[in-house]
A and B are shown apart, each in its own frame.
Chain A
Amino acid sequence: QVQLVQSGAEVKRPGASVKVSCKASGYIFTAYYMHWVRQAPGQGLEWMGWIYPNTGGTNPAQKFQGRVTMTRDTSISTIYMELTGLTSDDTAVYFCARDLVAWQVRNYFDYWGQGTLVTVSS
């Protein structure tokens, strides 16, 4: 069965960086685009970008360009999302999510990680 398991909660100071991991299992890791979506406390969902594990190619949302880096390690079927220059506005639960269809980007998300709470506080 498809599983996406994310790293644990983080507490960071303003200006710091955070790196969240997402380990995939139960399917061909390189076949599916993977997305990052975040959700501020009590708020809606915000798409951050995708990475294609097959090539390592990425497409960050314009809002996060220059501040987010998405990478992957195919040897351990894991993707990473690093966000720099943290502010209190970055306090949120960060989710990884798999794209719906293999070998193409459809931008719908059918499997999700459990979420990683990142708290930015001085």
Chain B
Amino acid sequence: GESVGLHLPTLSVQEGDNSIINCAYSNSASDYFIWYKQESGKGPQFIIDIRSNMDKRQGQRVTVLLNKTVKHLSLQIAATQPGDSAVYFCAEISPGSARQLTFGSGTQLTVLP
């Protein structure tokens, strides 16, 4: 079936380095993608989104890249800080009349001092 998945379940980076979190999606018809950050004990927090008619979108310290050819999504965090430690989920809007968010399994980002 269609799914959204993450390549790596865990990622450790040094404070100040850039982080790259990857996500593969299998439904080429998906037209909207969102990255969420979930800190321990909290709900998912919206980070950035991108529509399928774009290949790059930048926010504050974050950039999302979309490669529709290989159905790949990535989240880049510049100058990673301890507060960036969290689980990051990519989510896609499922196509069709339901158009619900389908979440990937998540990547645990740990920022090392």
Real binding pair? no
